Structures are given as C-alpha cells and as structure tokens.
Structure 1
Amino acid sequence: MNDSSHGFSTRAIHAGQEFDPTTGAIIPPIYQTSTFVQDGVGGLRGGYEYGRAGNPTRSSLETQLAALEGGKRALSFASGLAAEDALLRAVLQPGDHVVLGNDVYGGTHRLINRIHGAWGIRNTTVDLTDLDAARGALGTERTRVLWIETPSNPLMKISDVAALAELGRSVGALVVVDNTFASPALQQPLALGADVVVHSTTKYLGGHTDVIGGALVIDDEQLAEKVQFIQFAAGAVSAPLDAWLTTRGIKTLDVRMQRHSENAQALAERLVGHAGIDAVYYPGLPEHPGHELAARQMSRFGGMLSVALAGGAAAARRFAESTEIFQLAESLGGVESLIGYPSEMTHASVRGTELEVPDNVIRLSVGLEDVADLLADIDQALAR
C-alpha cells in the first residue's frame, strides 16, 4: 500500500498501517515503550533498540508520510522547528548562506537568523514570487539552501516551486519547501523538483489541535541518513502517542482539505468588496496575483486566508476579538476555526524587520463547521 500506484486517500489510510499480526487488530498499537529487549547482545527485533533511535509507531507514521509526499524517506520530529533545525545542521557549515522568502513563518526566520546566525550562517530574505530577485539572491557566495514557503504565512504568496527548484539546482543549493499550509493533499513539492519537504504536523496533518509535531520528507537516501543521525544524537523525536495521533489525523486528510478549501473559498468571496476590508489574501480568488500559478501546482486552494482591515490596527484587533465561532488562538489547520493577529501573535518575533506583518492584517484558519455559521460569524464581527 506504499507505492504510488494507489490513490492519495488509499495511501493515507493504509501506508504503514498493517494490522497487528498477533491479535489481528486493524489499528496498529501504540508502542508506548522506552526500550526493547534484545535476543542476545546486538540481537535486535525489527531493528529496534531504544526509543530515541526508533519506535514502531513512529516508523509507521514515517512510512505514511513518505508515501503521501512521494519521497524516499520521512523522519518524524517533536515539532516542526525541530525538524527544520536538524535539516539545517545536516547541510550547513559556518559561512554558508540561506535564501528564504520575505514572509516566511516567523519561527523559521528566527531559527535561521538568530540561532544559526549566531554560528555564522548568513541569510537573505527576498520576494520569491520575483524570479529575478530570487536569482540575484542565489548568486551570493556559498548559497547552500533555498527555503520556499508556498502558500506563505500569512500573506498567502504563491511561489513557483518548479522554477525556483531549477534556479536552486543551478547554484547547487538544496531546495526545501515548507508544505504546511497546503499539505500533501493539495501540493506535491518533490514532484515539482524540490529536494526536501518540511511540515509542522501539528497543523493539517494532525488536524485536530491535539498534538505537536514536525516532519521531513527527503528524496535522497544519503541526506536522510545524515539528518537521521542528527535526530538520534540530539534527540528531537516524536513520542509514540504523538506519532499515533498524527497518523490517525492523516487518514482523513484528503476529505478534510476538501472541506477546508470549500469553506475558505466561500469566506474569501464574501469578504471581497466589503467596505471594512482593504484586501483579501486568498489564492482561490481570480484577482489574487498567484491564482493561475496556484491552480497549476495545487489541486485546491486550502483553508487559510488573511484580510487587511480598512480601519487599521485598531479595527483589526477589534475584529479578531469579536468573533464567536472563530476562536482567538495561535496555530492553524485544525477542524475548528481560529482567528489570529499575526503582528502580535505568530509573527511578533519579526516586528521591526523586513518580514514585519502589517498591523491591519488578520489571519483566518477556516475550519470544518457549517459554512453558513462561519459566514454569519464573520458578518457580525465586521459589523462591530
């Protein structure tokens, strides 16, 4: 069930999910153990020795993730940032250079700029929707990584993965795509030419706002071995229960992403032209500058959208604090709808930099509730 001849939903449900051979339980058990008994010194059963090195529940999730993204290997981590950190440490040396989009997730920029920057890693942020600007930035000496996030967080910019991958390869850079907003149900970066896909599995993959996790899907065995060694040596692994919860969420990913996208499209269309809204950032709108590109490289447009309030920061804060079904909280991608104020929440760490999010922007993670209720909630909040 792990090969690409099966459809996406079939792989999501069955890859790495063989029934328990002892009892016939259709759902594989949670191997909630820290260590494994050996048949004599070095006689490992199934290759398992100690929970930091490997666990059957985590292995099942990794098989599932690799099957969904079409990669050779997947690794499951304690968080999305832990996954990013392990990858960066595997491929970078002091003096190396990273190119990344100028509105990436604030935590990614903080990790690269402040943590790895302190160890001599340089970075350039650039508008990756501008291929000429990207080409110029990639020309910097010792560029080793091109970091793409599409759709971007929170302004929903759409970057051309195939074109950027070609540019990255031309300078020998590893091409990494953060696929968290789209998920593999909507976008397949490895098929478009990327080398590595990164996820915060906390979001759409888990899908139920009850687990923290991250993952890398890598299309190169040698690189995967390097990253796995760093994961083992530094210990940023996902716990068995966290891996199991993520696997459970993935089994409904395809149908959830359909509903997320339908609801977000309806809200975006309702918000366009509203007197209180200056701009709606959603790639499913024909007027979005990345609409045609998104339609080519995504199967749907996703459940995330942002809006700029005409009344400025005060109106944005009031709007964020006035919804009833949309709950004011960080994170995204769960079955319930969330609303956030990026300037002071998810992107507070980049205030005062070129990545600063305008203070009149609100981000909506559109959930699976009845769309009529979501529309009514937005209407009443805007009326306030």
Structure 2
Amino acid sequence: MTEPKTGEMLHLRGNALDKGDPVALPLTQSSMFHLPGAPDGHASYGRVDNPTWAHLEHVLSHLENAPCLSFPSGMGAISAALFATVKAGSRLLILSDGYYVTRLLADRFLSNLGVSVVERPTTAFADGGFDGFDVVFLESPSNPGLDMLDLPAIAGAVREAGGITIADNTTMTPLGQRPLDLGVDVVVSSDTKAMGGHSDMLMGHVASRDTAIMERIEEWRRVSGAIPGPHEAWLLHRGLETLDVRFDRMCSSAQVLAERLATHPAVKHIRYPGLPGDPSHALAAAQTERFGFLLTITLETEAKAEQFINACPLLRPATSFGGVHSSAERRARWGDAVDPAFIRLSVGCEPVDELWQAIEASLNAL
C-alpha cells in the first residue's frame, strides 16, 4: 500500500503561495462571488463551490491518493455514495452489525425507493457470495464490534460478480488503512471523528478513483444541497494538520491500554485488533498500518459499566469517538446488539500512564 506523505501534505498550500500570501488557509465565508460575464471556470455560488472546500479537498485527495469530495457529516458522505450508486431495482448488501445509522438509511429510505436491502454479519459476510448485488457496503473494523473483513478478497469477488464496493473507513483513517489500495471502489469517512479530532465540528468525505462515480456523487451534492459549511471545512483542514501525531499517539496508547485491560479482573471480555489472541488480529496485521485507537471491554453488569465510565475523570461519557479526549459509552443504549455492559472506548491523546492510572482506579472501585 502507498502510505500518504503527511509531511508533504502540510506544505501543499505553502509551496504554492505567492509572496505576502497568508500561510494559514483563509476562510471564505461567502454565498456569492463576483461573476461578470460567462461563469465557466470561476466560483459561482455557495452551494456549488467554495475556495476553502477546494483546498480541503486537495488535502483529502493527497491523503487518499484519489479524488475527494467533502460533506457536512459522515452520514452525508454515506448518503451521497449510496444515492449516487443505487436505483430502483438495485440490490444492496450491508453489514448487520456495522454502524446502525447506515442500516437505518437503507431500511427506512432506500428500501422505500425500490432498493432491495440484504444484511449479513461481519463474521459471515462472504457466505452466499456476491452474485446479483449491485452495491456492497463494507465496514472494517465493524463499529462497534471490531470484527474485520478481508477487504481485498471481498472487493475482488464483488467486482467479478459485477458489483461495486463502498467501504466506511472512519475507524482507521487513511493513515491506518487504505481500502482503495486494497481494491475497494469507493471510500467514505466521518471526518467528525479522528480526522478532525477535536470534537468541534461535523464533516465527512467520499473518495474514489472511478471518475464516473465521482461525477455522480458531485452531482448529488450540488443538486441535493448536502454541502459542508466553509467554517467546518476550515476546522477540518486545521485538524488534518495534526492527524499524523494524534493518530500515532492514540494507536500507541490503545495498544498499551489493551494489554493492561486484558489482565484486569473486572474485565470479562476485551476486543482490540492489536492483541495477538483477538479474532481480528490476523486480518488487521495483513491489511492495516496500525491497529487503531478503539477498543471494547465488557464488564460484569450494566450498572458497573456506567459506574466505571462516569467515575473515571479522564474518560468523557459521550457518543462518537476519535477526539483528543478519551471517551467511552455503552453501545447498548443506542440499540446495538451487544451485552448491556459492553463499552466502546476511544483512546485519546492523554499521556498513557496517567490515563491508565485513572482507568485502573475506576475499575478497582467497582
């Protein structure tokens, strides 16, 4: 896989500057542009284009090594990728244990428009093959279970059967896993999470090396109005400038914490792809650059899980993940088919020993 050159990314703008230009990306907060005469080749209207988006997408394209389009949320990106690739009569295959809002979109909206939706669990996703499916939506590791798919094998099989693959890479980012290099046709991401990293905006993106698909997705964005705000685009661009150092810290700390949590008596079960005994370890070692910053633990009871989360001063009890602050939540409260005491823990940028001391103290107090 081709690793993104993050040092080069930091200077994509700087190396194209003229004397006196600002080094920091300017925020273009305008819905109208000065447009005498023919509009071709110029910014025209805020729903169509924006200079702040344009540079953000330049950076995202560098990270993905593919054309990118930005969206106002991760679900905005997922919606664009799906509405641009399915139509009445299409068959869509999705994970039954992936991010639940993707399933809601498919079940409550796409199915009402004549799309046939089939669900399979991650651990048996290839069972039955892929013949007859127009679009296959992947997520690896799955959220929240952290099971993994063999992306090259599935992408190849789907292509051979005449379909296309879309992969949600939110949990890994382009620095941890590169689905397009593994044969996937389209990548989507919620950049609200680790890409932005500061829990202060909603954003998403779609990337693909298929020109026709990207043209269709751009048309969907322009016509539907599912556009990012320029300020949010500016915030994401700023977040991307520290992604490399944040992601490295978060993944390294997650490995340390997982190894320590695996031996704590209060932890009934743990999942982290970086643990040699984890069911996802072999696939993760083969197709990811890092093992990620997410881990899951299951405690004895729901009450103890809540007590652990709420009493730990270095864990924010919040949904979402990927921020500089470590956070945790019981996923059963959103309807995921998990144990009531199952906790998804997102490791942030705190010093790992200080973070472990807080986590261990909260577990010891149960």
TM-score normalised by structure 1 residue count: 0.90
- Name the residue aligned to 2:355: 374
Runs of 4+ in 1 over 6 A off after TM superposition: none
Superposed CA deviations along residues 151-177 of structure 1, whole A, max 9, x for unmatched, are 111111121111110111122221111
Q: Measure, in 1, the Cα distance between the counterparts of 2:355 and 2:135.
A: 40
Is 1:28 aligned to residue 22 of structure 2?
no
- Name the residue aligned to 1:51: 46
**1:34: Cα distance to partner?**
0.7
- Name the residue aligned to 1:263: 253
Q: Measure, in 2, the Cα distance between the counterparts of 1:172 and 1:117.
A: 21
2:81/2:188 contact within 8 Å kept: no
Equivalent residue of 1:136, what SS?
coil
**1:28: Cα distance to partner?**
2.5
How has the CA–CA distance of structure 1 residues 145 and 5 changed in structure 2, closer, same or farther, with 3 Å as cutoff? closer
Is 1:147 aligned to residue 128 of structure 2?
no
Correspondence 1:215-226 to 2 at 5 A = 215-226=205-216
Is 1:113 aligned to residue 102 of structure 2?
no
Q: Measure, in 1, the Cα distance between the counterparts of 2:128 and 2:12.
A: 41
- Name the residue aligned to 1:138: 130
Code of the aligned partner of 1:86: A
Superposed CA deviations along residues 122-153 of structure 1, whole A, max 9, x for unmatched, are 222223344xx5251523x4x11111111111
Q: Measure, in 2, the Cα distance between the counterparts of 1:79 and 1:18.
A: 30
Superposed CA deviations along residues 236-273 of structure 1, whole A, max 9, x for unmatched, are 11111111111111111111111001111111011113
Q: Measure, in 1, the Cα distance between the counterparts of 2:273 and 2:4.
A: 25
- Greater shift after overlay, 4-13 or 55-64? 4-13
- Name the residue aligned to 1:98: 92
Equivalent residue of 1:357, what SS?
coil
State percent identity of aligned pairs: 36
Equivalent residue of 2:47, what SS?
coil
**1:20: Cα distance to partner?**
4.8
Superposed CA deviations along residues 212-236 of structure 1, whole A, max 9, x for unmatched, are 0111001111111111111000111
Code of the aligned partner of 2:329: G
Q: 2:272 aligns with which of 276, 282, 288?
A: 282
Is 1:83 aligned to residue 77 of structure 2?
yes
Equivalent residue of 1:67, what SS?
helix
Q: Measure, in 2, the Cα distance between the counterparts of 1:282 and 1:249.
A: 25
- Greater shift after overlay, 355-364 or 81-90? 355-364
**1:320: Cα distance to partner?**
2.2
- Name the residue aligned to 2:174: 184
- Name the residue aligned to 1:67: 62
- Greater shift after overlay, 187-196 or 152-161? 152-161
- Name the residue aligned to 1:37: 34
Q: Measure, in 1, the Cα distance between the counterparts of 2:123 and 2:12.
A: 35
* Count of equivalent residues: 365
Equivalent residue of 2:343, what SS?
strand
Equivalent residue of 1:184, what SS?
helix
- Name the residue aligned to 2:291: 301
Equivalent residue of 1:180, what SS?
coil
Code of the aligned partner of 1:158: M
Q: Measure, in 2, the Cα distance between the counterparts of 1:63 and 1:365.
A: 28
- Greater shift after overlay, 144-153 or 94-103? 94-103
Code of the aligned partner of 1:203: K
**What residue ranges of structure 2 are gaps of 5+ in the alignment?**
none
Is 1:14 aligned to residue 6 of structure 2?
no
**1:100: Cα distance to partner?**
1.7
**1:10: Cα distance to partner?**
2.2
Code of the aligned partner of 2:338: V
- Greater shift after overlay, 5-14 or 212-221? 5-14
Q: 1:238 aligns with which of 228, 232, 238?
A: 228
**1:22: Cα distance to partner?**
7.0
2:61/2:207 contact within 8 Å kept: yes
How has the CA–CA distance of structure 1 residues 16 and 121 changed in structure 2, closer, same or farther, with 3 Å as cutoff? farther
Code of the aligned partner of 1:53: V
TM-score normalised by structure 2 residue count: 0.95
How has the CA–CA distance of structure 1 residues 278 and 137 changed in structure 2, closer, same or farther, with 3 Å as cutoff? farther
Aligned CA RMSD, in angstroms, stands at 1.9
